[in-house]
Amino acid sequence: MKQPASNKRPQPARASEPKQRRTGKDAARRSVCPIACTLDVLGDKWTLLVVRDLFAGKSHYHEFASSPERIASNILADRLERLVTAGLVETSSSSQRVGSSAYALTARGTSLFPLLAAIRDWGLANIAGTQARVQVPSPKA
């Protein structure tokens, strides 16, 4: 126990602070930085792959699940739920099944295209062996 005898900051300990751990779905925003805030939503290895698949025209659970990266089923369900919560994806209940069946990007989700394109372009230019597949869904094919 070394106590340098000064420099103590005993932290008054307000009794009603829940000791916020910065993790979990309800984690507080880390800062006001737009990069940090975007990463709070999209910053992991799977979310943007689901978005990529949505841009590629996929809409069903098993289509996402059968992408070459083989996302685990529980992770996929979690990411879809988060994307819906974040307002980037909506479940079109066209066939109104029990579980949600068809997913689609919202307008806000579609606005991710430049971001996704920048990531794709960087990968193509900087990682050997990568191949482009996703195309811009041409407005008037």
Partner DNA sequence: CACATCGCTTGCAAAATGCAAGTGAAATTG
Partner DNA sequence: CAATTTCACTTGCATTTTGCAAGCGATGTG
Q: Given the rule CB under 8 A, which residues bind its own copies?
A: 29-41, 43-45, 48-49, 52, 67-70, 108, 111-112, 114-127, 129-134
> Which candidate, 106, 97, 96, 94, places its Cα nearest to that of 54?
106
Instruction: Kindly give, in sequence order, each residue whose CB lies less than 8 Å from that of residue 115, ignoring residues fewer than 6 positions away.
Output: 38, 42
Q: Which of residues 75-94 bind DNA (CB under 7 A)?
A: 75, 77-78, 80
16 binds, among DNA, its own copies, none (CB under 5 to 8 A by kind): none
> Which residue number, 22 or 133, has a Cβ lying nearer to DNA?
22
> Which candidate, 63, 53, 70, 62, places its Cα nearest to that of 109?
53
Rounded least distance, CB 139 to DNA, Å:
27
> Which candidate, 87, 92, 76, places its Cα nearest to that of 110?
87
Binding site for DNA (CB under 7 A): 1-7, 20-25, 27, 44-46, 60-63, 70-75, 77-78, 80, 95, 97-102
